[in-house]
Each structure stands twice: as C-alpha cells, then as structure tokens.
Amino acid sequence: MLKNLLFIALGGGIGSSLRYLCNIYLAKTYPNKAYIATFLVNMLGCLLIGLFVGYFQKHQTENEAFKLLLITGFCGGFTTFSTFGLENFNLLQSQNYILTLGYILLSIVIGITFVGIGIYLTK
C-alpha cells in the first residue's frame, strides 16, 4: 500500500509541476485568457490518459505500479478532468447514455454552483 502511494505521489508531483509550467507558458502566449490554458491542459490530459489506458489494454500490462504512476498519479496531478473524461467514455462504452449525460451535467452545474457557494461563504 505504501509503495503504491509513493508511485501516485511521484506521478502526481510531476503532473502538477508540468501543469504549472504549462499554465505559465500558456499565460504568456494568451494573456488574460486563463480559460484557454485550462482548456488546453485538460484536453492534453484527456489525450494522455487515453494513450496510457490504451497502451496498457493493448499490451495487457499488469504492472500496477506503472499504471498508478502514470494514470492515477501523473494524469491526476496534471488534471482531474482527464479522469472525468475517462469515466464518461467508459459510461458511453457501456451504453449508459442517460447516466453519462446526467453525470456530465450535474458535475458541471453542481461544480460551478459549489464554487459560488464557497466564495459566498467566505465573504
């Protein structure tokens, strides 16, 4: 268990650091448009988690430590949106269309609402 947590922490630290560097670079490229940096990092994270999951499926790799390092750690540190994308893809693959739509809509609406509530509560 501790070994798994170390792999996740290592990957998460690398992913979080890379996200920070991407945001700095993209903020210079697109000043006053933080949403573009967030969008691009989130989409790159989705591509990366897809590549990692696809690779492990194709090669039937059972290396749990490497999966934890790259998928849970790195992608989780880089952007949790990639996990959100993977979960929705899996729901679509299992033909849970209504559940997928509900999950997407509720995540967005409730997420934005809770941000507002959090800001309101701190005023």
pLDDT in tens, 65-83: 999 999 999 999 999 898 8
Domain that holds residue 109: 2-121
User: How many distinct structural domains can be found in the chain?
Assistant: 1
Please give the share of the chain, as a percent, with pLDDT higher than 90: 68
What is the per-residue pLDDT across 4-40, written as a single tens digit (0 to 9) for each? 999 999 999 999 999 999 989 988 888 888 788 888 8
For residue 12, say whether it is annotated as part of any ligand binding site: no
User: Given pLDDT bands bounded at 50, 70 and 90, which one contains residue 123?
Assistant: confident
Contact between 48 and 19 under an 8 Å Cβ cutoff? The reply is no
For residue 76, say whether it is annotated as part of any ligand binding site: yes
The residue with tokens 């690779």 is 55
48: helix, coil or strand?
helix
Nearest partner of 50 among 92, 91, 85, 95, judged by Cα: 85
